[in-house]
Structure 1
Amino acid sequence: MSLSDTFEKIESLSDTQRECIENCNEATEVCEWCADECLGSADMEECARLCRDVADLTALHARLMARNSRYSATVAEACVEACEACTDECRKHDANHCQVCAEVLQECAESCRQMANA
């Protein structure tokens, strides 16, 4: 059973929350990959740092949403800010991993924005 299938069985989660959890989990993994690919490139140091920050924030946000934490909206706001900063940084680079990361983070930022405003 996939994680996505498991979340569908949690009745307390709305479809919007489920989608945001999935987007956050994807962002976590893609950011870890992008950060790893940036290692050793001096011009990608800031990109790696931002990716690591986003990975930590999105992982935390997914966990908080899964347990319906009262702090979820606060962390969602931080996720939006971090995702947008990282997207901007990734777009400065031509590397495939940066372009993929920027695309995933744009979607994640939108999902988190919906959660922050819920």
Structure 2
Amino acid sequence: MSVVGQMLYAHPDDPEGVGEKVRAVVEACGLCAQVCVVCADACMREETVAELVSCARSDLDCADLCEATQRVLVRRTAEEDGFVASVLQACVQACDRCARECEEHAEHHEHCRVCAEACRACSRACQDLLDAL
């Protein structure tokens, strides 16, 4: 089990039945945020940078939302009032948007292909947790 998983399971407020899904989202968000930042940086280094500005912006927006989602989930607060669901929905939206943008460039830029895959995986993890809440 990952260190994040160990910490989440050691937390006294681990809600029964969703702990594994929380861990999956926290880890997927962390990975997605990092991949998105690398993709944005790679976009800015491409010869066709003018065509990739929107992609880089989408990458950075997604990274920010993933990091915020990750931080809210590890704090394990406000799960009962719909706040966590709202944060997860925003993350799904950001990941789906970024994935669509990256998929437009994936044929020519490997970093966009990899980023789109990470975004889709993060979106699925967030949606799985939303469905379980």
% same residue: 34
Q: Select the residue among 87, 102, 106 that pairs with 1:90.
A: 102
- Picking from 108, 113, 117, the partner of 2:127 is 113
SS in 1 for 2:104: coil
Q: Is the 8 A contact 1:74 1:116 kept in 2?
A: no
Specify the structure having the higher radius of gyration (Cα): 2
Q: How many residues align?
A: 116
Q: Unaligned 5+ residue runs, structure 2? A: none
Aligned counterpart, 2:66: 58
Separation in structure 1 between the aligned mates of residue 115 and residue 8 of structure 2, nearest angstrom: 29
Counterpart Cα distance in 2 of 1:63 and 1:85:
21
- Aligned with 1:72 (options 84, 90, 101): 84
SS in 2 for 1:29: helix
Output one character per residue of 1:66-106: Cα deviation in whole Å (capped at 9) or x when no partner: 01132222111011111111111101112010000000110
Give the match for residue 46 of structure 1: 54
Deviation, 1:9, is 3.3
- Equivalent residue letter for 2:95: C
Partner of 1:99: 113
Q: Which runs of 4+ in 1 moved over 4 A?
A: none
**Counterpart in the other structure of 2:7:** 9
CA RMSD of aligned residues (A): 1.6
TM-score normalised over the length of structure 1: 0.91
Please report the TM-score for the alignment, with normalisation by the length of structure 2. 0.81
Cα distance between partner residues in 2 of 1:64 and 1:91: 28
Q: Relative to structure 2, which stretch is displaced further, 91-100 or 66-75? A: 66-75
